[in-house]
Amino acid sequence: MPLLLVLNELSYREVKARYDDLSDALHKLVSVLRQARRHRTDVALVTERQFIDLPMSDDFSLRKWAADGRNADALRYIRSMRNRAPFRAVVTTSADSEAEYFHAGVPADGLGVAHLMGGLALSLPLEAKWDHGVLPLVQRTLRETAAGDVVLADGEASVRHAFSVGHVDGHRAWMCTSALTRLISPGDLWDAREDVFPHLRFLARVADDLHKLPATALDAVKVRLAELESAAAEWSAAGGPLPSWRSKVTPDSDSRKPLCWFTDDEDGERRLFDLHARFTPGPGRLHLRLDSSRRALVIAYIGRKLV
C-alpha cells in the first residue's frame, strides 16, 4: 500500500480567488508532491473526483488551465501521481466507515480519509488558515452505551498535513518510519528499499545479508536504516561535508580497514566501506560509504561484526 497524499477539498471549494492565484497554487501543489516523492517514492495522490473535474472557484476552469501549454508538465505530474493511487477518488467517510470527520464544524472527507488511511493530507495554498503541519479533527462515531443504546459520540483526532514544501520536510522522519511496520521480513525490506529509503543505495550482496539476519535483529536494522535515510535526506537538501548522523556512525580502525572493501555493482570497482553503524542483539554492524556526488549513502554489508 503506497503512502496516500489526500487532497483536502475544503481548501479549494467555494474559495474566491483569481485565476492567476489558483494557477500558482496548483504549481505549488506540484512542488509539494515532488518533495514528498523525494522522501518516499511510493506516494500516491487521492482526490475527491477526477482531477480535471474538481469543483474550484466559479471563475476558474481546470479544463482551461489544463489546455494552457504552460501547465502541461504540472498537469502530467499531477495525473501520474493520481494514477498511482489504489482507488481513484475520496468517498464520503461516513458512507464507507464507522466514522465521520469534521474540521471547524464542517464535514471534511479528504482530511478524514487521510486520517483513516494513515496518510498525509494536502491543501491548495490559497488561504492562510491551512498553513499548518497538523490539523485538528472531530471524529464522530456510533457507540453503544452501557444501557445498550447506540448514540453518536464525538472524539478529538488530528491528521498530518502539508500546505507547503516545508511541511513535507517536517514530516520526513514519519514518512520513512511509517513504512517500517509493514516490512515484516528480510524480503519485504529488500523489495521496498527504493521506496522507503530513496537516499540509500544497497549493493546487491546485501539481499543475502538480510536473509541471514537473526529474526530478532530485523527491527533494529530497520531503525538504523531509517536513521541513515533521515541523515542522508537532510544532507542531500542542506549540503555540508558530512551528514548529521542520528546514531553513532564511525570509521573502522586502520587495522580492520582491510576487511571493509567491497565491489560496487555500478562500476565493478573495489571501494572502502569502513564507516559503520551498530545494531543489537550481538555485535551487529552496518557498513557504508558516502557518495558525495549524489549526496547519498551506499550500503555494502549488514550483519555481525566483520572478522
pLDDT tens profile 62-85: 888 999 999 999 999 999 999 988
Angle formed by the axes of helices 72-83 and 19-39, nearest 10°: 50
151/55 Cα distance (integer angstroms): 34
Domain that holds residue 101: 3-173
Q: What is the pLDDT at residue 152?
A: 79
Strand-pairing partners, residue 289, are: 298
Which contiguous run of DSSP H or E holds residue 67?
A: helix 62-67
Same domain, 207 and 290: yes
- Give 92-151 as a DSSP string: -HHHHSSEEEEETTEE-HHHHHHHHTT-EEE--TTSGGG--SEEEEEEEEEEE-TTS-EE
Same domain, 116 and 231: no
Q: What is the pLDDT at residue 91?
A: 56
Q: How far is CA 295 from the centre of its chain?
A: 19
Low-confidence stretches of the chain (pLDDT beneath 70): 58-59, 87-98, 144-145, 148-150
54/78 Cα distance (integer angstroms): 13
Q: Rounded to 10 degrees, what is the CA torsion of 266, 270, 271, 275?
A: 100
Pairing of strands 134-144, 284-291: unpaired
Dihedral of alpha carbons 126, 129, 134, 136, sign? negative
* 140's grid cell: 464522530
Pairing of strands 106-107, 99-103: antiparallel
267/203 Cα distance (integer angstroms): 11
Q: What is the pLDDT at residue 58?
A: 67
Of 243, 210, 207, nearest to 228 by C-alpha is 243
Same domain, 39 and 139: yes
Residue with cell 480519509: 113
Same domain, 224 and 125: no
225/302 Cα distance (integer angstroms): 10
Same domain, 169 and 189: no
Same domain, 79 and 204: no
Count Cβ neighbours within 10 Å for each residue of 226-244 and write b for 16 or more, e otherwise.
Answer: bbbbbbbbbbbeeeeeebe
Same domain, 166 and 184: no
How many structural domains are present in the chain? Answer: 2
158/137 Cα distance (integer angstroms): 5
Same domain, 127 and 233: no
Gyration radius from the chain CA atoms: 23
Of 123, 107, 126, 112, nearest to 159 by C-alpha is 112
Q: How far is CA 253 from the centre of its chain?
A: 36
Same domain, 197 and 76: no
Same domain, 260 and 130: no
Same domain, 196 and 142: no
